[in-house]
Structure 1
Amino acid sequence: MEKVLRLASANDVVIFSKSSCCLCYAVNILFQEIGVRPSVNELDNDPDGREMEKCLMRMGCSAVPAVFIGGTLIGSTNEVMSLHLKGQLIPKLKSYEQNATS
């Protein structure tokens, strides 16, 4: 749990992902297209990846990608895309924009 929380709050936008997951790739591309460079943690390339994935599930994220903004769990693909389609994702990122895009 500590590692997930530490990594989730280490950068303004953090994605816990798997390198073979097409939805993870799509969410990462979405952030890049709106000008945000997220910190991506590939769970399948981390020796603690399985435990981290279990921790994310306990936190309420049922699948990867697990997206954190400002250290707060936003959710997975459905939640991120829903926020984006409602026009709420970019405003949520505004307070982190300078750091996230630098």
Structure 2
Amino acid sequence: MDKVMRLASDSGVVLFSKSSCCLCFTVKILFQDLGVTPTVHEIDQDPEGREMERALMRLGCNTPVPMIFIGGKLLGSTNEVMSLHLSGGLIPLLRPYQALY
């Protein structure tokens, strides 16, 4: 749990992902389209991935990936991100982390 929380707070936007997950890919593309480059942790390629997956589940998540943290705070998974985006609430959260064009 400590590693997950440390990694989640190391960068502004953090995505815990699995390399073969299509929903993870969708969230990555959304962030890219919004001008944000999240720090991505592919837990299926991390030697401590199983422990990280269990820690994410203990945070109350139904699925361990994709799991998004913004500003060190758990935002949620795909449903929460997409719902927030559709309601107009995601971009204000991401604004401090957007690349300048």
The TM-score, its normalising length taken from structure 1, stands at: 0.92
Kindly provide the CA deviation profile for residues 58-84 of structure 1, in whole angstroms up to 9, marking residues without a partner as x: 112222100000000000000000000
Partner of 2:85: 84
State the Cα distance separating 1:101 from its structure 2 match.
Answer: 2.8
- Unpaired runs of 5+ residues, structure 2, are none
Partner of 1:68: 69
1:12 and 2:12 correspond? yes
State the Cα distance separating 1:93 from its structure 2 match.
Answer: 1.5
Aligned-residue CA RMSD in angstroms?
Answer: 1.1
1:28 and 2:37 correspond? no
CA distance in 2, matches of 1:47, 1:73: 23
- Unpaired runs of 5+ residues, structure 1, are none
Query: SS of the residue aligned with 2:16?
Result: strand
- Following TM superposition, the consecutive aligned residue runs of length 4 or more in structure 1 with deviations greater than 3 angstroms are none
CA distance in 1, matches of 2:45, 2:99: 25
CA distance in 2, matches of 1:8, 1:17: 12
Query: SS of the residue aligned with 2:15?
Result: strand
CA distance in 2, matches of 1:22, 1:41: 15
Count of equivalent residues: 99
CA distance in 2, matches of 1:25, 1:78: 14
Between the aligned residues of both structures, percent identity stands at 65
1:101 and 2:92 correspond? no
